[in-house]
Structure 1
Amino acid sequence: MQCRICGSEGEHSVYTAKEMMLGLRDEHRYFQCGACGCLQIELIPENLAAYYPSNYYSYSSPHTTHKLKQELLKRRDYYAVTGKSLLGHVLSLAAPNQKLSSLRPLELKQDARILDVGCGAGLLLNSLKEAGFTQLLGIDPFNAASIHYPNGLTIEKRDIFSETGEWDVIMFHHSFEHLVEQQPTLKQAHQLLAKQGTVLLRVPTVSSYAWQHYGVNWSQLDAPRHLFLHSVDSIKKLAEQTGFTVSQIQYDSNAFQFWGSEQYEQDIALRSEQSWAENPANSSFTAAQIKQFEHRARELNALNKGDQAAFYLRKAS
């Protein structure tokens, strides 16, 4: 087997993982490159689209909320991106928006040109739009159709290879690991990115405690939807191949790496009625345990051992 990232044909570790989000439990073989560490699916299923049902989480549209709640969410989300707004800070302590917080290191102005690739229904972009950011576009070829929101946000049904504009930020929020064409996608992003722009990859990573501890029961392996589970080294290798350097890494894992993985060890699917995600009252976990998992996740993030991270890519000099 040849690694699709670094090309190594050396000794690779082989694993068999079950589909456990939907609970199908069919088996898929993965191998982890002995050179760059990238864990990747051996054979991409021909019927891959069948593993993305109509109720897949990224297809969910924004919920209509009370005007006061909408205003509070705007303040929280504006703070998440900019670090400004005292009220937003207080609201973030209670209910942080981790996805938007990954944009704060970019110090974005509200007219920054932002492209979100593989955005599904565009929940994150809609939050940015409501928070006052103006030049936004989402693209996702797997949506049923293009989406036009009342606030002017557009989500287009297409992929990055049909894009021709110039962007200050090109984001992949847990979409990059689903893509077959890893190098071509980043090369296209390089062409579309402004000179001082940033590509943001938020992905699960095998450079983590969760992969080391849970192995094939790691909840973010997510066979067979996740085709590539990158290591820090394989992301750096991929960046080098496509004209980028990794300027920063920010770990942002959460409690899911624990309760999801422990459910899988007990053969409980994510969509099961016994799952914390579906029905906490039927789950084997208590709210106190989930809080402990969140605390442990923060500790792992501080140690650069969380199971997901934001990688900030800048054009190489």
Structure 2
Amino acid sequence: MQCRICGSEGEHRSYVAKEMMLGLRDEHHYFQCADCDCLQIEKIPANIADYYPENYYSYSDASKAGNPLKQTMTRLRDTYEVTGTNLLGRVMHLLMPNAKLATLRPVKLARDARILDVGCGAGHLLHSLRELGFQNLLGIDPFNQADIAYPNGLRIEKRDIFSEQGQWDLVMFHHSFEHLPNQRTNLGQAFNILKPGGVALVRIPTVSSYVWQEYGVNWVQLDAPRHLYLHSVKSMQALAEQAGFITEQVVYDSNALQFWGSKQYEQDIPLRDPRSWAESPDNSLFTAKQIHEFEQRARELNAINQGDQAAFYLRKPA
């Protein structure tokens, strides 16, 4: 097999991974490039859409809100996540952080910034930004059932990035890039539609991590066959350079899932199983204390660049 990222035809390591999120357990073949370390699926299933059921987690309605007090506290928290300011919001962050929004802080977004979220599902992150007063937002996702129009004015459109011709300040791929078959052309299109000096934010699982070495094909974020590419830092930076980007920063932002999810898979317990921590903590293998310890371990791994996911901040030269 030839690596589809760097072109290497070296002696790549082969793996067989099962579909374990839904519990189908069908097998899929992957190989890891001997040169750039990118782990990639050998052959994309012809029925790949079947692995995204209607209840797939990213499709849930983003407009569902709690009581007015909770909405106010959430907005304060989200303001802190995006800007790093707001004392009460910081308190709420400590109680219920929003890690996805926090990844926007290094970009230093202006309120009139034009922001495109690619592969956004129902658009949860964009909905939060709209509630904070950001107006120039658009989400796109070809796997959605239809276009979505929220009461607050946010639109999510059923299409892919190649249909977009606008000029954006920020193009985001929040755990969607690993699902895309044509990595080079997708990132190249992001480069094309960014303004000079604009940023592509790519958040992905990474094999440059402790848990890939520890759990191998039981690593929960391998997520066969939905994840077509599991990049290393080396392969992602090479891809960014091919597209014309400058990699400004790589920030690890993994969480406890890498441990409890992978340990479940070792025990043949799918993510959507009634015994899963995600579905029923009371019926799972783990105690709340263990989950807390997993979170602490995740923070420690992030600090030494060994967590299982990272945010890549890619700048288009001005």
Q: TM (normalized to structure 2)?
A: 0.99
Structure-1 separation of matches of 2:292 and 2:18: 28
Structure-2 separation of matches of 1:315 and 1:49: 32
Indicate the residue corresponding to 1:131 in structure 2. Answer: 132
Code of the aligned partner of 1:200: L
**How many angstroms does 1:240 deviate by?**
1.1
Deviations 1:117-137 (A, max 9, x none): 000000110011111211110
Indicate the residue corresponding to 2:278 in structure 1. Answer: 277
8 Å contact kept, 2:19–2:25: yes
Indicate the residue corresponding to 2:164 in structure 1. Answer: 163
Code of the aligned partner of 2:15: Y
Code of the aligned partner of 1:144: Q
Structure 2 unaligned blocks of 5 or more: none
Deviations 1:53-111 (A, max 9, x none): 00000101122211111111111111100001111100000111000000000111111
**How many angstroms does 1:245 deviate by?**
1.6
Runs of 4+ deviating beyond 3 Å: none
Structure-2 separation of matches of 1:95 and 1:104: 17
Q: Aligned with 2:3: secondary structure? A: coil
8 Å contact kept, 2:197–2:317: no
Residues 1:111 and 2:112 are matched in the alignment: yes
Structure-2 separation of matches of 1:185 and 1:266: 36
Indicate the residue corresponding to 1:55 in structure 2. Answer: 55
Structure-2 separation of matches of 1:91 and 1:150: 26
Indicate the residue corresponding to 1:197 in structure 2. Answer: 198
Indicate the residue corresponding to 1:186 in structure 2. Answer: 187
Indicate the residue corresponding to 1:79 in structure 2. Answer: 80
Structure-1 separation of matches of 2:65 and 2:55: 18
Code of the aligned partner of 2:311: A
Indicate the residue corresponding to 1:99 in structure 2. Answer: 100
Structure-2 separation of matches of 1:302 and 1:102: 15
Code of the aligned partner of 1:50: D
Indicate the residue corresponding to 1:11 in structure 2. Answer: 11
Q: Aligned with 1:187: secondary structure? A: helix
Code of the aligned partner of 2:56: Y
Deviations 1:202-254 (A, max 9, x none): 00000000101000000000000000000000001101111112110010000
Code of the aligned partner of 1:291: H
**How many angstroms does 1:142 deviate by?**
1.0
Code of the aligned partner of 2:51: Y
Structure-2 separation of matches of 1:299 and 1:165: 40
Q: TM (normalized to structure 1)?
A: 0.99
Q: Percent identity at matched positions?
A: 68
**How many angstroms does 1:153 deviate by?**
0.4
Pairing of 1:147-296 with structure 2 (within 5 A): 147-296=148-297
Q: Aligned with 1:220: secondary structure? A: helix
Code of the aligned partner of 2:260: W
Code of the aligned partner of 1:233: K
Structure-2 separation of matches of 1:51 and 1:145: 18
Q: Aligned with 2:220: secondary structure? A: coil
8 Å contact kept, 2:200–2:313: yes
Q: Aligned with 2:178: secondary structure? A: helix
Structure-1 separation of matches of 2:317 and 2:40: 26
Task: Kindly tell me the number of residue pairs found equivalent between the two proteins.
Answer: 317
Code of the aligned partner of 1:42: E
Code of the aligned partner of 1:35: D
Indicate the residue corresponding to 2:313 in structure 1. Answer: 312
8 Å contact kept, 2:196–2:317: no
**How many angstroms does 1:316 deviate by?**
4.4
Structure-1 separation of matches of 2:132 and 2:293: 32
Deviations 1:122-170 (A, max 9, x none): 0110011111211110001111110000000000111110101110000
Structure-2 separation of matches of 1:154 and 1:78: 21
Q: Aligned with 2:80: secondary structure? A: helix
8 Å contact kept, 2:82–2:102: yes
Over the aligned positions, Cα root-mean-square deviation in angstroms equals 0.7
Structure-1 separation of matches of 2:156 and 2:71: 21
